[in-house]
């Protein structure tokens, strides 16, 4: 009996010592504190853009206009204000996002929106909907707009990605993972202006004139304007062109809009022999 009591006492002391050691380890270790901090936050990407492509005079050829986006924490005030300013066709999708309970990003028509849970930001539009400049040279984006797929976008993908603006919102969450309405929001900003980028030899005004002249004068063709002293390309245009915002719509076109007729080879034929 005494031996059993001694063994049991030794086991109890050992277990108690292990508990004490574990408590000390948890208290002294920074890993769990860091994990608790991370788990108590919700990160929302507001915008992740790319650097600007400029002409020779530093006039932007992309990112030359802005739009408004809102980081929304679902609250009754935010829901009421968003439904007030949103067009009818977007209200159903906004209601679905609000009912999810988590912060989200949505484009808004104006920046004069004031409500608890709504933060408005002005972010650049990569390509305009109309009058896109030098699309065959600048190229377009792939991977949901994250990487360059053709042209300057692809050739200088790393430089343009590194120079792009990034906005992120950080919200406090409770133990169940829900965002806390009274916890506030922290905005993380990186390269907010997006002023860095790549400078080309093109001149914006000449590029615009060349594209307008081509569209007015022919259905298919190309034009190049050079500086005779330096050989710099001041303008290069090819028509028909593709839509940089909707590349898929041009994939099946019989006019081959992806071909840059200013640089593609042609069989010159017998006319050249004369």
* pLDDT tens readout for residues 146-173: 899 999 999 999 999 999 889 998 888 7
Above 90 in pLDDT, residue 175?
A: no
Residues 210/237, Cβ–Cβ less than 8 Å: yes
Confidence band (pLDDT; 50, 70, 90) for 101? confident
Cα 5–chain centre separation: 69
Residues 264/221, Cβ–Cβ less than 8 Å: no
Q: Give the residues across from 171 on adjacent strands.
A: 42, 185
Q: Who contacts 239 (Cβ-Cβ below 8 Å, separation ≥6)?
A: 211, 214, 215, 218, 219, 220, 221, 222, 261
Report how far residue 161's alpha carbon sits from residue 157's, in angstroms, rounded to the nearest whole number. 6
Above 90 in pLDDT, residue 183?
A: no
Q: Give the residues across from 236 on adjacent strands.
A: 224
Q: How many helices (H) and strands (E) does the chain have?
A: 8, 12
Between 175 and 103, residue with greater pLDDT = 103
Q: pTM of this prediction?
A: 0.75
């Amino acid at each position: 009996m005494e031996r059993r009591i001694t063994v049991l006492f030794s086991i109890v002391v050992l277990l108690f010592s292990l508990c004490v050691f574990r408590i000390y380890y948890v208290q002294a270790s920074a890993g769990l504190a860091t994990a608790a901090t991370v788990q108590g936050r919700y990160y929302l990407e507001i915008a992740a853009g790319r650097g600007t492509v400029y002409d020779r005079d530093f006039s932007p050829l992309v990112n030359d206009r802005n739009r408004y986006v809102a980081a929304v924490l679902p609250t009754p005030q935010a829901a009421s204000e968003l439904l007030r300013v949103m067009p009818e066709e977007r209200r159903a999708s906004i209601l679905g996002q609000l009912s999810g309970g988590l912060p989200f990003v949505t484009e808004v028509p104006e920046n004069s929106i004031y409500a608890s849970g709504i933060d408005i930001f002005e972010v650049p539009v990569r390509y305009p909907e109309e009058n896109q400049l030098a699309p065959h040279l600048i190229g377009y984006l792939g991977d949901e707009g994250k990487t360059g797929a053709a042209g300057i976008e692809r050739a200088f993908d790393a430089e343009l990605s590194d120079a792009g603006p990034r906005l992120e919102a950080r919200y406090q969450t409770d133990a169940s993972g829900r965002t806390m309405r009274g916890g506030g929001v922290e905005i993380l900003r990186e390269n907010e202006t997006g002023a860095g980028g790549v400078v080309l030899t093109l001149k914006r005004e000449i590029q615009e004139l060349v594209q307008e002249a081509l569209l007015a004068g022919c259905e298919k063709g190309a034009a190049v304007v050079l500086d005779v002293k330096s050989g710099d390309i001041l303008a290069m245009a090819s028509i028909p062109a593709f839509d940089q915002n909707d590349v898929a719509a041009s994939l099946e076109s019989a006019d081959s809009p992806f071909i840059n007729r200013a640089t593609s080879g042609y069989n010159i034929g017998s006319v050249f022999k004369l």
